[in-house]
Amino acid sequence: MEQALTGGASPASGVRMLPTYVGSTPHGNEQGNFVVLELGASGASLRVLWVTLTGIKGQRVEPKSQEFVIPQEVVLGTGQQLFDFAARCLSEFLDAHSVGSQGLQLGFNFSFPCHQTSLDRSTLISWTKGFRCSGVEGQDVVQLLREAIQRQGGYSIEVVAVVNDTVGTMMGCEPAVGPCEIGLVVDTGTNACYMEEARHVAVLDEDRGRTCISIEWGSFNDDRALGPVLTTFDHALDHASLNPGAQRFEKMIGGLYLGELVRLVLVHLAQNRVLFGGYTSPALLSQGSILLEHVTEMEDPSSGVARVHAILQDLGLSPETSDAELVQRVCAAVCSRAAQLCAAALVAILSHLQHSREQQTLQVAVATGGRVLERHPRFQSILQETVTLLASECDVSFVPSVDGGGRGVAMVTAVAARLAYHRRLLEKTLAPFRLSCEQLAAVRTQMRDAMAKGLRGEPSSLRMLPTYIRATPDGSERGDFLALDLGGTNFRVLLVRVTEGGVQIINQIYSIPESVAQGSGQKLFDHIVDCIVDFQEKQGLRGQSLPLGFTFSFPCKQLGLDQGILLNWTKGFNASGCEGQDVVYLLREAIRRKQAMELNVVAIVNDTVGTMMSCGYEDPRCEMGLIVGTGTNACYMEELRNVAGVPGDSGHMCINMEWGAFGDDGSLGMLSTCFDEMVDQASINPGKQRFEKMISGMYLGEIVRHILLHLTSLGVLFRGQQTQRLQTRDIFKTKFLSEIESDSLALRQVRAILEDLGLSLTSDDALIVLEVCQAVSRRAAQLCGAGVAAVVEKIRENRGLEELTVSVGVDGTLYKVHPHFASLVAATVRELAPRCVVTFLQSEDGSGKGAALVTAVACRLARV
Ligand code: G6P
Ligand code: BGC
Ligand code: BGC
């Protein structure tokens, strides 16, 4: 068991320890009407049940049920025959019981070893118990049943769960004390399941809670353990069976085999003249002529002897009384061994639970089911006595299942139905975030239109601002420069030394308190100058007049390299008295107020431009700058002839697109979701920066938070419990998306992040939160990719090239930190601009270096 749980199982040991995706014992509040289809629990028969769960503890409605015998040619036929037979029986039952034909939810009780990957997806490993339908092993049996129901027609039945009979038995029992945590079935076959600590199940990435494991102990065949107990009769039976070498443990316990074992022993004794005077009848010699029922009847303490005679006579024998007694003893021996072996296996579970729960005295209830346990006169008692013998310190109560697990299957189906319903609600909620290639291509085309309009100076949500940067650095720049970098997560002051050998940077990060970012402009620029002066003092630069480049990451209409009119604040900044002003003038005014006269502001650049220049210094093919951080934006080298309002029609001009505002004219309305509307309405600039609010770090966490609140209100998440914390604005940081989506982070860490937010959650909740994060970040990356595709296609067409090779300088925390963002952007660009070979260069030194390089170019040009 432990080997198989840790995934280190050697096939030799045989037990499979299969996860069933049943994560909890019944809550008792499951309710609804369910169809249950049972296949394989009790031999070549199939049972259909109609189970009503009241959701009220102890209030039970007797299930309606009907049994159908499966013809042998079907049991040994094709899988399609078997599942069509099942679908016909279903219809027959539903016709007979008029329970409606629409929206029926079915739980499939399929009692064979299966690899389950969810409550409604299960692949058959191998047939047991005399079944051998072709074309089913290795297949998803739920899919096979769905197809058969489809072929049958007449009823809309949704198969929402597949359950092993042991699980149904465990889930269906209602012991006086505490839930049953072990399910034991001894019918034609035998098996058990139990509630294991999820952290012990290697295949389940879980660290909390319990999960139900189907042991499939029927295939236990560890030679060291079984070798000594296997008899020649067991080997003979196995040899003649449909699956020699398989299910060796089951073949010593299961009802399908007990009769045959007895027969083989009787034949042996007869052939050795111990029984029936050495006479063997053809019937006695024919395989399968003694059934479980016969053995059970022959062992019946009251009518056993009479039955022995009757049964042996039916087999063409004329038993003496002594023969009858001996036959009873053979039955007793075979069945006692079966019960004792079953008990030994059960004790293995008990000691494992004792050990894993560190409990000296384990108290546990075992739900039992199956005709051997229900009908054999002594099996149950021998089982219990042996368990008490082998596990005296355990307090084990046995709870016979009342309806063969039908209710239990219905309970699992109820849970699965709830999860399936939640899944549909989740899909419905996330569907608007799943953008098709057509939708992304439409965004690319719309952005192209808006670019063209903006360049022509016509009304457009893309302002396409000329930056007066005509060239990227040519490497001849030299000197020391001060640079400021305002507008990202951090405000930095940098000293940039540009030499033959390259660029050295010393920088210091300063904070911009929200009160300053949203206070007066004068306070903001005074604060900036204070930081510069502090930096100069620390770097021993006071009194030195170094040219200064100012990365100002907000939309500015530049009138020159050192003149930029702030059009509007973004990203949570809102300092008064700045919009419409030349921010270089505002800085110079602050410098004057602070008498820091040696500061010489030479250039103001946008962070996209600084990033392009910084990367262009290493790679001259870098002609686009992209920021995906707190905000998002892009710039690129446009043909001057295409830039209205700037004289000249040869050469290039770097254009700051300010694409964060793309869609502010409503052109992105078709993509905007109610969650985007909520984030926009709650922002300090509603209606503005709509593209940015779907993409950048300042907003993704908020979009996710609103979706989580919505899903909680639908009961899909956190059992519908809204928590105060989650209703707190900005409490779900965008960095959580990067953490939660990181491949190396197991679900348990996802849980840790969310528990820090005061959320108590299940593993299903953690999975759903992960999916929400993935949907939101994927859309952001794809929209960003559609924007980049529009720009590189523009550059390619500008130059009339069949194919364009270009590099894009990128910066921004979201792009750099998120585990999948960059690759999703690149994949979208490949899809939407297949004739452009685009290399994304992550800027190492930020755009401060770029600002210094722009200043260096300006100084070089000023010297000629
Ligand atoms: C870098 C650049 C800044 C830019 C920022 C954007 O730090 O140097 O100029 O504004 O990236 O990213 P962020 O995630 O900080 O907003
Ligand atoms: C199957 C199990 C089942 C058991 C009892 C075995 O043959 O492999 O899945 O639980 O029979 O029906
Ligand atoms: C600003 C841009 C800036 C971008 C990235 C946006 O909010 O409007 O100017 O480039 O954020 O920082």
CA-nearest residue, atom 6 of ligand 1: 812
Distance 553 CA to ligand 3 centre (A): 5
| Phi, then psi, of 194 in degrees rounded to 5 | -160, 165
CA-to-CA distance for 135 and 78, rounded, in angstroms?
A: 7
pLDDT digits (tens, 9 = 90+) for 798-834: 999 999 999 999 999 999 999 999 999 999 999 999 9
Q: Which of the 8 DSSP states describes residue 396?
A: E
Q: Which atom of ligand 1 is nearest to the CA of 551?
A: 9
Percent of the chain with pLDDT over 70: 97
> pLDDT (tens digit, 9 = 90+) per residue, 276-322?
999 999 999 999 999 999 999 999 888 888 999 999 999 999 999 99
Pocket of ligand 3, beta carbon within 6 A: 487-488, 553-555, 570-571, 606-608, 627, 629, 631-633, 658, 660, 692
Block residue for tokens 């929402």: 160
Task: Say what the pLDDT of residue 721 is.
Answer: 86
Chain CA centroid to CA 785, Å: 25
Ligand 2 pocket, residue 705 CB under 6 Å: no
For the CA of 42, the closest atom of ligand 2 is: 12
Q: What is the pLDDT of residue 470?
A: 85
> What spacing in Å lies between the alpha carbon of 770 and ligand 2's midpoint?
35
- Whether 553 is catalytic: yes
pLDDT score for 179: 72
Task: Quickly state the pLDDT bin for 11 (edges 50, 70, 90).
Answer: low
- Among all bound ligands, the one having the nearest atom to the CA of 692 is 3
What is the per-residue pLDDT for 442?
Answer: 98
Atom of ligand 1 nearest to the CA of 814: 14
For domain 224-400, the CATH class is: alpha beta
Q: What is the largest distance, in Å, between two alpha-carbon atoms of the chain?
A: 127
Instruction: Determine the residue of 17, 128, 194 to mutate for testing ligand 2's pocket, defined as the one with the most ligand atoms within 8 A of the Cβ atom.
Output: 128
Residue 560 one-letter amino acid: G
- Ligand whose nearest atom lies closest to the CA of 491: 1
Q: How far is the centre of ligand 1, averaged over its atoms, from the C-alpha of 220 (Å)?
A: 61
| Annotated domain spans of the chain | 1-171+404-424, 224-400
Mean pLDDT calculated for residue range 412-416: 88
Three-state SS at 114: strand
Q: Give the atom of ligand 1 at the shortest distance from the alpha carbon of 487.
A: 10
User: For ligand 2, is residue 113 a contact (CB within 6 Å)?
Assistant: yes
765 band by pLDDT with thresholds 50, 70 and 90: confident
Q: Residue 395: helix, strand or coil by DSSP?
A: strand
- Ligand 2 touching residue 811 (CB < 6 A): no
C-alpha distances in Å from residue 82, one per residue of 71, 77, 127, 145, 669: 9, 7, 13, 9, 52
User: Cα of 633 to ligand 3 centre, how many Å?
Assistant: 5
Report which ligand 2 atom has the smallest distance to the Cα of 165: 10
Q: How many CA atoms within 13 Å lie on the side-chain side of 46?
A: 25
582 is known as an active-site residue = no
**Distance from the alpha carbon of residue 836 to the mean position of ligand 3, in angstroms:** 25
| Nearest Cα residue to atom 11 of ligand 3 | 631
Helices (H) and strands (E) in the chain, counts: 29, 26
Better pLDDT: 474 or 703: 703
Nearest CA to ligand 1 atom 12: 812
What CA–CA distance (Å, rounded) separates 627 from 612? 10
3-state SS, one letter per residue, for 630-667: CCEEEEEEEEHHHCCCCCCCCCEEEEECCHHHCCCCCC
Q: Is the pLDDT of residue 402 over 80?
A: no
Residue 175 binned pLDDT confidence (cut-offs 50, 70, 90): low
Check pLDDT > 60 for residue 621. yes
Ligand 2 pocket, 190 CB below 6 A? yes
CA of 628 to the centre of ligand 3 (A): 9
Q: Which ligand is nearest to the CA of 192?
A: 2
Q: Which helix (H) or strand (E) holds 509?
A: strand 502-510
Ligand 3 centroid to 468 CA: how many Å?
18
Q: What is the mean pLDDT of residues 390-395?
A: 91
User: Which residue's CA is minimally distant from atom 8 of ligand 1?
Assistant: 846
Q: Is 38 in the pocket of ligand 2 (CB under 6 A)?
A: no
Residue of 16, 407, 492, 779 marked catalytic:
492
How far is Cα 19 from Cα 214, in angstroms, rounded to an integer?
6
With a 6 Å cutoff on the Cβ, whether 122 touches ligand 2 is: no
As a CATH number, domain 1-171+404-424 is 3.30.420.40
Separation CA 139–CA 573 (nearest Å)? 58
Q: pLDDT at position 319, please? A: 92
Which ligand sits nearest to residue 166's alpha carbon? 2
Which entry of 120, 140, 165, 607 is annotated as an active-site residue? 607
- Tens digits of residue pLDDT in 29-51: 778 999 999 999 888 899 999 99
Ligand number, closest to the Cα atom of 189: 2
Q: Which residue would you say has higher pLDDT here, 59 or 435? A: 435
Rounded (5°) CA angle 344-345-347:
65
Instruction: Tell me how far apart the alpha carbons of residues 717 and 325 are, in angstroms, rounded to a whole number.
Output: 64
For the CA of 342, the nearest ligand: 2
What is the CA(626)–ligand 3 centre distance, in A? 10
Residues in CB range of 443: below 8 A, 6 or more apart? 668, 671, 783, 786, 787, 790
- The per-residue pLDDT for 130 is 92
Residue from 553, 683, 696, 847 carrying the catalytic annotation = 553
What pTM value is reported for the model?
0.82
Active site residue 492: yes
H or E element: which one contains 499? Answer: strand 491-499
Residue 250 Cβ < 6 Å to ligand 2 = yes
Task: For residue 495, give every residue at least 6 positions away whose Cβ sits within 8 Å of its Cβ, in sequence order, or none.
Answer: 480, 481, 482, 483, 505, 506, 507, 535, 539, 541, 546
DSSP for 405-416 reads: THHHHHHHHHHH
What per-residue string of b and e applies to 622-635 under the rule 16 or more CB within 10 Å gives b?
A: bbbbbbbbbbbbbb
Instruction: Name residues contacting ligand 1 (CB within 6 A).
Output: 485, 487-489, 551, 553, 607, 610, 627, 629-630, 697, 811-813, 846-848
- What is the strand order of the sheet 190-197 is part of? 18-19, 210-214, 190-197, 180-186, 363-369, 395-400
Residue of minimum CA distance from atom 7 in ligand 1: 846
User: What is the rounded distance in angstroms from the CA atom of residue 163 to the CA atom of residue 409?
Assistant: 6
What ligand has the least distance to the C-alpha of 116? 2
Task: Please tell me whether residue 464 adopts helix, strand or coil conformation.
Answer: coil
Question: 183-202, pLDDT tens digit by residue?
Answer: 999 999 999 999 998 888 88
3-state SS, one letter per residue, for 535-604: HHHHHCCCCCCCEEEEEECCCEEEEECCEEEECCCCCCCCCECCCCCEHHHHHHHHHHHCCCCCCEEEEE
- Asked if residues 818 and 777 have their Cβ atoms less than 8 Å apart, the reply is yes
Average pLDDT over all residues of the chain:
91
Distance 632 CA to ligand 1 centre (A): 9
Residue whose entry in the numeric block shows the structure tokens 């800027």: 843
| Cα torsion angle, 196, 200, 203, 208, sign | positive
pLDDT single digits (tens) 825-854:
999 999 999 999 999 999 987 788 899 988
In terms of residues, how long is the chain?
864
Pocket of ligand 3, candidates 490, 566, 633: which has the most ligand atoms within 8 Å of its Cβ, to mutate? 633
Which residue lies with its CA nearest to atom 1 of ligand 2?
112
Q: How far is the CA of 588 from the centre of ligand 3 (A)?
A: 22
Q: Are strands 502-510 and 547-552 parallel, antiparallel or unpaired?
A: unpaired
Q: Is 371 in the pocket of ligand 2 (CB under 6 A)?
A: no
Q: Whose CA is nearest to atom 9 of ligand 3?
A: 554
Best residue among 614, 627, 699, 842 to mutate for probing ligand 1, ranked by most atoms within 8 Å of CB: 627
Looking at residue 351, the DSSP 8-state letter turns out to be H
Query: CA 769, CA 751: separation in Å to the nearest integer?
Result: 9
Residue nearest to atom 6 of ligand 3 (CA): 631
- End-to-end CA distance of the chain: give it in Å, rounded: 82
pLDDT mean over 350-370: 89
**What is the structure's pLDDT at 847?**
84
